[in-house]
Structure 1
Amino acid sequence: MPMDSKDKGTEKNKHFITSLEFAIQGIRTVFKEERNMRTHVFMGVVAIIIGFIFRLAITEWLWLLLAIFLVLVVEIINTVFENVVDMVTDFHFHPIGKKVKDMAAGAVLLTTGFAVVVGLLLFVPKIWQILKDFL
């Protein structure tokens, strides 16, 4: 059944608030439906709390927040690819669909690896200093 361009939610967004509402709904949807997104958000919140505990400098905050938001954005893009492949293939296996999903998952893995390296570079020296002072 073709969608009529006058159906609600299918015509071009003419107002900023409407666009903002759709974007927020998209974030809610990926958070609700994707366990990995919830895990990434949880780990990001943990990293931010640790950042406050260690009183990060502004440049350190910029690196930490960049890493967190990159992971979240790439996870959203990964979810988009997964949904498009499922829609196009009607949930049936297709080798090209598998390649697309694998590549998108690889992007998440690389970005998460970057975030881990940033976290290690920021926090390990601070933890090491505490251990040295304690011992």
Structure 2
Amino acid sequence: MALKDKQTEKNKHFIASLEFALQGIRTVFKEERNMRTHSLMGVLAIIAGFIFRLTTVEWLWLLFVIFFVLIIEIINTAFENVVDMCTDFHFHPIGKKIKDMAAGAVLITACFSLIVGSIIFLPKIWQLFVTYFL
């Protein structure tokens, strides 16, 4: 790498990195329906958290699983794009395996978040049911 290519000012480098990262997030929201769905579910879970007045530990778990799903969805999208780029959008059995495994990671993460959400919210929903209907 030539000396002229090296970044010498930290702030510009950080700002440029931040701009690239934000563009990546915008791109995945724009192009991936599942990312928008996961985000909507996360927002609904946060609203439910305020309604049910979660404890600090419950908030930490809830936010962890929300961000975990979003991160894995972004990684899944990156794998899909790399496979499409490398295969020029033609079917390849190894490309299919890669895409399937990345999608499986999203599924496992989403299931984990459903379990955590159930542990947090079902007792609270049950308590509401018992209080108002029994």
TM-score, L = length of structure 1: 0.90
Q: Partners in 1 of 2:64 and 2:77 — Cα distance?
A: 20
Distance of aligned partners of 1:22 and 1:51 in 2 relative to their CA distance in 1, 3 Å threshold: same
Q: Output the CA distance in 1 between the equivalents of 2:130 and 2:41.
A: 26
Tell me which amino acid in the other structure corresponds to 1:54: F
1:48 aligns with 2:46: yes
Partner of 1:25: helix, strand, or coil? helix
Task: Report matched runs for 1:1-135 at 5 Å.
Answer: 15-134=13-132, 135=134
Shift of 1:12: 7.1
Shift of 1:61: 0.2
Amino acid at match of 1:105: A
Q: How many Å apart are 1:37 and its aligned residue?
A: 0.1
- Look up the equivalent residue of 1:129 and give its one-letter code: Q
- The runs of 5 or more residues in structure 1 that have no matched partner are 6-10
What residue identity is the alignment partner of 1:50? A
SS at the partner of 1:124? helix
The sequence identity of aligned pairs, in percent, is 72
Q: For residues 108 and 64 of structure 2, what CA distance do their matches in structure 1 show?
A: 14
Q: Deviations over 1:22-59 (max 9, x none)?
A: 00000000000000000000000000000000000000
Aligned-residue RMSD, C-alpha:
1.7
Cα distance in 2 for partners of 1:15, 1:97 equals 34
**Larger helix fraction of residues:** 2
Whichever residue aligns with residue 36 of structure 1, its letter is N
- For normalisation by structure 2, the TM-score amounts to 0.91
Unaligned runs of 5+ in 2: none
